[in-house]
Amino acid sequence: MADSNPTVFGKILRGEIDAPRVYEDEYCIAFKDLQPQAPVHLLVIPRLHLAGLNEADAGQEALLGHLLLVAAQVAKEAGLAAWRTVINTGAEAGQTVFHLHLHVIGGRTLSWPPG
């Protein structure tokens, strides 16, 4: 539940912090990243508080699939024909907000490996 989520994403879900939303439904929201790393940088977050992908289980299978479909939808709506979808899990992987989230990044050429 978002009410017990102390992260910045919990605050966004509760309306305590404004974020420019581009999509919203009963399962998730998508909004523009406040510190974009590319011309298009969107975040898709579930309303359900999971600290990371490592906390998901078979009970969230439909939710996880939904998040990926929403990521593709918002990417296309942002005019992207190609984009990168990233889920960082754990601090060593670069996760800084411990609420599961998908980055949708595009609008420029992206190199590999990412870093």
Q: What is the mean pLDDT of each run of 10 residues along the chain (115 residues)?
A: 79 94 98 96 98 97 98 98 97 96 97 83
- Res 4: pLDDT: 81
- Res 115: pLDDT: 65
- Res 102: pLDDT: 98
- Res 114: pLDDT: 80
- Please give the structure tokens belonging to residue 45: 């977050």
pTM of the full predicted structure? Answer: 0.94
- Please give the structure tokens belonging to residue 64: 């996880």
Rounded Cα distance between 57 and 53, Å, is 9
Which residues carry out catalysis? Answer: 101
Rounded Cα distance between 91 and 99, Å, is 12
